[in-house]
């Protein structure tokens, strides 16, 4: 048995597809690019974790018995969420399929399916994500902006662009000046690659000018670019110890730290918030104003209606709450 089992990780391995003589060259090429690199990396980490568990328990991982899969996911359930376990099963299933074990895939055993169903019922599938930062929160956060003029300009632009654009932290950090198109009405942002655009077709985000310049994202971004002198390359960058602007882009983790910093200055618990709080907060704020579902999805680029409807339901619980009728109305 190998040390880590990675010799049996077949997802994304071109040599496996190349050896299939029944496929044309064109068909092989489509398979090579079927999955995004980050998806393959996630599956690789999942497979490695499973193999490590098998090695520790002296079980075979290739091939693996359905009972081995069941015992593994039950151990995993001690610390992982139900959806994490489901994703792990998905990775194992895909790898066995890529290895050509479609007819003998242990993950497709009724034993495994029943075990996974039982774990979901036992643990539930409710996701406890980061708390939303609502529009009123954004306005208060902007009052807490600290640092010198350059730092304030950058952080203000990050918070406002991240909120109005309903952007993920990787999307904020990945912005280049070349992705921006300032028009008379506002700003058009081209996302060259995002989580829900694995085929790199590009997505467009529109952020209009608004009358209140204090909370206008377009105004804030233009001010940051003018003040920093950035005309090409990464939009948001870090600072050196001498507080000059770096050439390389800010990391996505830094986006989360910026959000947590200002949440803390507001007196809220930073552990409950992160970069996703901006995206979550935009969707929830829009739902609180009874914005139509399709309009929210157009701005957030969500592919799943279920996620957006969860935000709408979250807002409705606070707006159309029976407590208001009991107590005589809103405060």
List, by residue number, the catalytic residues: 168, 195, 276, 279, 302, 311
Q: Among 256, 264, 223, which residue's Cα sits nearest to residue 137?
A: 264
Are the C-beta atoms of 246 and 238 separated by less than 8 Å?
yes
Report the distance separating Cα 215 and Cα 213, nearest Å: 5
CA-based diameter of the chain, in Å?
Answer: 74
Residue 237 CA, chain-centre distance (Å), reads 21
Report the distance separating Cα 208 and Cα 262, nearest Å: 25
Per DSSP, which regions of the chain are E strands? 180-182, 186-191, 203-208, 237-239, 245-249
Are the C-beta atoms of 51 and 88 separated by less than 8 Å?
no
């Amino acid at each position: 048995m190998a040390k880590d089992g990675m010799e049996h990780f077949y997802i994304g391995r071109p040599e496996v597809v190349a050896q299939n003589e029944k496929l044309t060259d064109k068909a092989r090429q489509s398979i090579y690019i079927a999955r995004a690199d980050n998806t393959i990396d996630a599956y690789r980490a999942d497979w490695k974790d499973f193999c490590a568990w098998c090695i520790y328990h002296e079980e075979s991982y290739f091939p693996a018995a359905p009972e081995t899969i069941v015992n593994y996911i039950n151990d995993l359930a001690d610390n992982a969420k139900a959806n994490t376990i489901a994703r792990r099963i998905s990775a194992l299933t895909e790898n066995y399929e890529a290895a050509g074990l479609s007819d003998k895939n242990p993950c497709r055993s009724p034993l495994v399916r029943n075990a996974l169903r039982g774990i979901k019922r036992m643990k539930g599938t409710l996701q406890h994500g980061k708390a939303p930062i609502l529009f009123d929160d954004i306005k208060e956060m902007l009052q807490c902006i600290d640092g010198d003029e350059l730092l304030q300009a950058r952080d203000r632009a990050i918070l406002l662009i991240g909120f109005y654009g309903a952007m993920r932290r990787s999307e904020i950090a990945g912005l280049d000046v070349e992705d921006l198109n300032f028009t008379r009405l506002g700003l058009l942002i081209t996302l060259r690659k995002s989580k829900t655009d694995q085929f790199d077709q590009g997505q467009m985000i529109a952020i209009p000018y608004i009358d209140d310049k204090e909370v206008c994202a377009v105004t804030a971004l233009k001010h940051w670019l003018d003040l920093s002198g950035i005309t090409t390359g990464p939009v948001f960058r870090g600072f050196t110890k001498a507080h000059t602007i770096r050439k390389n882009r800010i990391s996505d983790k830094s986006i989360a730290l910026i959000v947590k910093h200002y949440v803390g200055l507001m007196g809220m618990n930073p552990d409950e918030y992160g970069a996703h709080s901006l995206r979550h907060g935009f969707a929830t704020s829009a739902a609180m104003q009874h914005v139509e579902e399709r309009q929210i999805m157009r701005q957030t680029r969500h592919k799943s209606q279920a996620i957006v409807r969860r935000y709408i339901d979250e807002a409705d619980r606070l707006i159309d709450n029976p407590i208001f009728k009991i107590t005589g109305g809103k405060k």
